[in-house]
A and B are shown apart, each in its own frame.
Chain A
Amino acid sequence: MAFGLSLPLSFELPRCSRLSATDEELVAQLQQGSEAAFRTLVARYQNRIYQTALSLLHSPEEAEDVAQEVFIEVYQTIASFRGEAALSTWLYRLATSRALRCRRWAHAKKRFAHFTSLLGLDNQVLHELPDHAHPQALLEGAQQLGLLRACLGRLPAKQQVAFTLRHEQELSYEEIAAVLATSVPAVESLLFRARQKIQQSLQA
């Protein structure tokens, strides 16, 4: 779709009919250039996409950035969406792949900054964020969750995505398989290995 954004930026609520429209109807309206449909789609999915990105990135700013990019990509490429997968699957796929790319970029940047600091190319002091505090202290109350998130952050990318989609977004195995473009047994295996690694980390 071309940039047909001649539509005024208004904040009126979408009509009830649009709010209750199915995803397929929204896609059809969006493919016809309806901005109201786009607004409804954003309103419907913004929290889920943002939360998914936040789980993978642990940074509200980066998560917001990724969520915005996802919806912009949807707007720009909706014409090529053929409906082979569900709209939600497509959105989750965009969100997870963009979040992982963002994370890889952040890691590369961090490694480069560390390298330049070793060479003395800049005078900034790098403060490494601690991975976790003492396990005994963290395994109490709400801090338990922090420890779990720290363990999650150390999982391989695919395991982390599968775990996040399953336990935070509550997607079914079939939906996760569609997002990751893999099979249900592969998802089961990813989740099983993720759980094993997390439990090992928690017990260490």
Chain B
Amino acid sequence: MSNSDLPPGSDKDWGKLLHQLRFPPRAEPQPFFYARVHARLLAQADAANALLPNWLRKPAYAAALCALVLAMSGDGAVAAPAGAGYPTSNPAQPLAR
């Protein structure tokens, strides 16, 4: 396959124009480009971390919070004696009329 998109008989001006486009003084990013990318990555990481409060980012506190939430969420079932507050009807038994 030919990689030229110039049809046969194309004018020289077009070729010259493309040559200019291909060989201008090459633009480059400002010096220390990598340092700026690195700084931006760090800033993004900090921003992501800042979404959680400082104390919650410590594993011990996070684990304690999870344990507390778990304990609180099931305390009604744990505190109540077995069967208390729940119907104990046996499905096999016919209901009294």
Contact = CB atoms under 8 A, between A and B. Distances in A.
Interface size, A (range): 35 or more
Contacts, number: 80
Contacts of A64: 29-30, 33, 36
Interface size, B (range): 20 to 34
A155 interface: no
SS class of chain B's interface: helix, strand, loop or mixed? helix
A145 B49 CA distance: 47
A158 interface: no
Contact of B5 (A71, A148, A195): A195
Interface of B: 1, 3, 5-6, 14, 17-18, 20-22, 24, 26-30, 33-42, 44-45, 48-49
A184 B26 CA distance: 28
Contacts of A46: 28-29, 33-34
Contact of A42 (B14, B27, B37, B45): B37
B9 to A, nearest CB: 13
A81 interface: no
B35 A11 contact: yes
SS class of chain A's interface: helix, strand, loop or mixed? helix
A9 B43 CA distance: 13
- A-B residue pairs, 6 tightest by C-beta: A3-B45, A191-B5, A50-B29, A71-B37, A42-B34, A145-B20
A51 B42 contact: no
